Amino acid sequence: MLKLSYEEWADQYRPIQNPYDNNASHDGRMFETNWLDHKFIKKHPNAVIWS
């Protein structure tokens, strides 16, 4: 099993910023289950979504 720190993971996979929440967790890269975040996430292919 490969283990990465959060910083290593972020450098490798380049998660995007949440455009609706400047104070989102994980350096502004966390998305929640609210309608606006969900609508934004659904515009992206499943292959690039991490959960």
| pLDDT tens profile 1-51 | 889 998 998 999 999 999 999 899 988 999 999 999 999 999 999 998 887
Inter-residue contact 17 to 28 (CB < 8 Å): yes
- How many other β-carbons are positioned within 10 Å of the β-carbon of residue 18? 21
Tokens encoding 38: 């969900």
User: In this predicted structure, what is the pLDDT of residue 37?
Assistant: 94
User: In this predicted structure, what is the pLDDT of residue 29?
Assistant: 92
- Tell me the chain's radius of gyration from C-alpha atoms: 12
User: In this predicted structure, what is the pLDDT of residue 20?
Assistant: 93
Q: Where exactly are the structural domains of the chain? A: 6-48
User: In this predicted structure, what is the pLDDT of residue 50?
Assistant: 84
Inter-residue contact 20 to 37 (CB < 8 Å): yes
pTM over 0.75: no
